[in-house]
Amino acid sequence: MNEQQILDNAPDGATHVDDGFGYWILSEDQNVKSQAWIDGRKGFRSLSIDGFSFRKLSCIQTIVEQQKRIEQLEKMIDRCLGFDYLEREL
């Protein structure tokens, strides 16, 4: 799943995603708030978090926004130069 898909699939209230694409509500220091995670089909459930690696959804959102901005800038550069600068050997 790419970053945009992670964001598109995130249920309301989720703050983090784990390495198995489970969505969580975590505090800023990544402690589980109310020992709860989010699953679109099951709602909130209590789980142990041993072994999970978490990514903040807000960081993923920043990555997606920056990727879109880079694409816009590359198109602008191509228009200014009159060719695809990434495909041309320097």
Interval 38-47: pLDDT, tens:
665 555 554 5
- Compare 45 and 1 and report the one with higher pLDDT: 1
Q: CB 17: neighbour CB atoms within 10 A?
A: 24
Q: Would you say residue 70 has pLDDT above 80?
A: yes
What would the pLDDT profile of 47-69 be if each residue is shown by its tens digit? Answer: 555 566 788 999 999 999 999 99
Is the pLDDT at 14 greater than 50, yes or no?
yes
Please return the burial class of 89, using the count of CB atoms within 10 Å of its CB with bins 0-12, 13-18 and 19+. exposed
Q: Model-level pTM?
A: 0.71
